[in-house]
Structure 1
Amino acid sequence: MTTPRFMPVGTLATVKGVMPPQLAATGAEMVLANTYHLHLQPGEAIVAEAGGLHRFMGWSGPLLTDSGGYQVFSLAGINRIDDDGVTFRSPRDGNRIVLTPERAMAIQMALGADVAMAFDQCPPYPASEAEVEAACRRTHTWLERCLASHQQPGQALFGIVQGGCYPRLRAESARVVASMNLPGIAVGGVSVGEPVEEMHRIVRQVGPLLPEHTPHYLMGVGSLREMAVAVAHGFDLFDCVLPTRLGRHGTALVGGERWNLRNARFRHDHTPLDSGCPCPACRSHTRAYLHHLIRAGEMLARILLSLHNITQLQRFSNAMAQAIREGCFAEDFAPWEPHSEAAHTW
């Protein structure tokens, strides 16, 4: 797999509205699925019976499973955290679900993805320094327990750096996670409501602290400028629900901008959405047709725009990789501005 690379999110073993062959055609090489949600439905035993997540969802490329740590943050209203793990109330039936580091590892081993993520506590923004310090302590202890219980040859285990917006805690977390000699390291606790300038500051601080010869994964980030800033500071992998979520709501990513194709200005526009894009929406259809599909509520609009948006992020990833190979990344992409000349050259 080439890096830098954007990973589309397939939470429930599917990237919404996109078939695996279509997804591969966008240039996507790796897909993210979610431990917590797959545990709820259909259950890791069903996936294991099918021969693992690759066969179950029909995706032959690399797969990464998030550990459920993000749901500790996003489902804070229905969970309780202690040093042992997290107790959830199922949003489906109200049943009690206990997720510990050991359980998160067992589920991910049963799912059989290529990369498993350590179970962590992602603190909210804002949170006090004491609250974030407690979350870091749990994250580091849980990582040790994940390492002790992870026994899946061929499945890489990535640790996660936390620390919120506190430089001291970020530095300490990076030191602890790096000391574990893992095959990859992620940085979490970003894109959780903090100002974008704070995200940039965290990326600039933590990137140089991570081991040089392992992949660096910035979790939950998929906007062009933030990806470029992160790549400039040593990050390789990214994921976000943004491209398909925008597509489902009639919005296309074009040259770093977001175009709402519901707008009347597209009604008589018979030009391609982006003449340089090879996706089906741009290759075979016009802005006017996409506008019509969206206004008519047709499912095809969501599919085409999701494919287009994923393709845009893959093209951007490829352009960054090429610029790195050619030695001109700093000139073209760091920092990348949506309206700069570089925005229209990839």
Structure 2
Amino acid sequence: MFTFDLQHTDPASSARAGLIQTDHGPIETPIFMPVGTAGTVKGVHQYELKNDIGAQIILGNTYHLYLRPGMEVMAKAGGLHGFNGWQGPILTDSGGYQVYSLSDRRKITEEGVTFRSHIDGSKHTFSPERSMEIQRVIGADIIMAFDECPPFPCDYKYAKDSMDLTHRWLARCCEYVDNTEGHYGHGQTLFPIVQGSTYDDLRRASAEAIASFDRAGNAIGGLSVGEPAEEMYRVTDMVCAILPKDKPRYLMGVGTPVNLLECIALGIDMFDCVLPTRNARHGMLYTAEGIINIKNAKWKDDFSPVDPDSSCPSSRFYTRGYLRHLIHSGELLGAQIASLHNLAFFLWLVGEARKHIIAGDFASWKNDMVPRLERRL
């Protein structure tokens, strides 16, 4: 069962607080979803995701899990929930973004995408039906339609042809999902994806087309692929005005803490991004007072906690000087501490946003937070 209850709206913006119900548990929105591309959020145990970070839903990736460990193993394990032990909700990306990122080793046709594995060069084909079939085996609670993510920039004809193909593929995804059953006894909900690059008429047409499919939730793709932040905000605002208000809206692959707050203000409910863990591994830490580059020499003999105000126990336990030493030494523990910290911060941030939406003062809180989040400490 998948439901969405829109509980509160902010009087001075389009920010919303809601509650998604899935067979694997509830999700309070707005929400940030840690990315576990290959079935794991890098360096983070499942119990840490739940207990130290407060994650409510995580992501897996169809392309990567299809290649490794493969669907035979996945099916024997009982899907990704059985394989990695995470018992909360899971969302899977369809593999469409990997189509975008593998531009030098794939061919797109009406039928689907033929590509060569980045692991061993072997040849594979994903069609909309095949992507849905794989996501059935993975067993995610929310599965994404198979789409093409156009590059930025791209010319108008490419963007329109890509959008039209995405819509035709969506019809095939819906037909497959509506005429098949999941493998593990729980519901799976399909989200379509709005495309159209940064062309206003295409984005409007795509949002209207996606809304007409009347699925339980909708996503916005093809942003955060190199366009200026102002363009991302403009397109997001335009699309949110068209997508149904009574269904969750998921902005794929976004973004920085500031991006999250600005897009929550525009009406987005769900986010994912590799940024908190990827940047953590390079020593960039996000806090409510600004950004810390822990590699800087100024932290060498700072023996105060990484972040005394963090909701994450390890950020309160370990010192900045020690974390700097670990990162400089290439120790795995350094990447782990930093990843835990950043993920906890992102979850704290959207949780605070939710509190202020419910309190009715989100817009003023957001305007105060944004300049603080952008500071370099």
- Shorter-chain TM-score bucket reads over 0.9
1:294 Cα shift?
1.5
- For the Cα contact (< 8 Å) 2:287–2:373, is it kept in 1? no
What's 1:199 paired with?
A: 232
Identify which range, 154-163 or 220-229, moves more after superposition. Answer: 220-229
Which residues of 2 match residues 29-44 of structure 1 at below 5 A? 29-44=56-71
What's 1:251 paired with?
A: 284
Q: TM-score, normalised by structure 2?
A: 0.88
- For the Cα contact (< 8 Å) 1:228–1:335, is it kept in 2? no
1:45 Cα shift?
2.1
Identify which range, 60-69 or 143-152, moves more after superposition. Answer: 143-152
Q: Deviations over 1:50-73 (max 9, x none)?
A: 011111011011000000010111
One-letter amino acid of the structure 1 residue matched with residue 197 of structure 2: G
One-letter amino acid of the structure 2 residue matched with residue 68 of structure 1: G
Which residues of 2 match residues 154-173 of structure 1 at below 5 A? 154-173=187-206
Q: Deviations over 1:54-104 (max 9, x none)?
A: 110110110000000101111111101111111101122222110000000
1:108 counterpart (107, 122, 135): 135
1:28 counterpart SS class: coil
Matched, 1:11 2:40: no
1:333 counterpart SS class: helix
Matched, 1:232 2:265: yes
- For the Cα contact (< 8 Å) 1:11–1:34, is it kept in 2? yes
What's 2:255 paired with?
A: 222
What's 1:312 paired with?
A: 345
1:87 counterpart SS class: strand
How many residue pairs were aligned?
342
What's 1:62 paired with?
A: 89
Separation in 2, partners of 1:192, 1:222? 11
1:81 counterpart (97, 100, 108): 108
One-letter amino acid of the structure 1 residue matched with residue 198 of structure 2: C
Which 5+ residue runs of structure 1 have no aligned equivalent?
Answer: none
1:254 Cα shift?
1.8
Q: Higher relative contact order by CA 8 Å / sep ≥ 6: 1 or 2?
A: 2
Query: In 2 relative to 1, CA 20–332 (structure 1 residues): closer, same or farther, beyond 3 Å?
Result: same
1:217 counterpart SS class: strand
Separation in 2, partners of 1:132, 1:38? 29
Query: In 2 relative to 1, CA 157–126 (structure 1 residues): closer, same or farther, beyond 3 Å?
Result: same
Which 5+ residue runs of structure 2 have no aligned equivalent?
Answer: 1-26
Matched, 1:144 2:171: yes
1:209 counterpart SS class: coil
Query: In 2 relative to 1, CA 59–211 (structure 1 residues): closer, same or farther, beyond 3 Å?
Result: same
- For the Cα contact (< 8 Å) 2:249–2:270, is it kept in 1? yes
One-letter amino acid of the structure 2 residue matched with residue 39 of structure 1: Y
What's 1:118 paired with?
A: 145
One-letter amino acid of the structure 2 residue matched with residue 27 of structure 1: G
1:92 counterpart SS class: coil
Separation in 2, partners of 1:316, 1:267? 28
1:285 Cα shift?
1.2
Separation in 1, partners of 2:213, 2:236? 21
1:2 counterpart SS class: strand
2:47 counterpart SS class: helix
Identify which range, 139-148 or 151-160, moves more after superposition. Answer: 151-160
Separation in 1, partners of 2:188, 2:371? 37
One-letter amino acid of the structure 1 residue matched with residue 239 of structure 2: V
- For the Cα contact (< 8 Å) 2:61–2:92, is it kept in 1? yes
Separation in 2, partners of 1:267, 1:156? 48
What's 1:301 paired with?
A: 334
Query: In 2 relative to 1, CA 334–211 (structure 1 residues): closer, same or farther, beyond 3 Å?
Result: farther
Matched-pair identity in %:
47
Separation in 1, partners of 2:36, 2:156? 33
Separation in 1, partners of 2:263, 2:251? 8
1:76 counterpart SS class: coil
- For the Cα contact (< 8 Å) 1:256–1:338, is it kept in 2? no
RMSD: 1.5
What's 1:213 paired with?
A: 246
Separation in 2, partners of 1:317, 1:282? 18
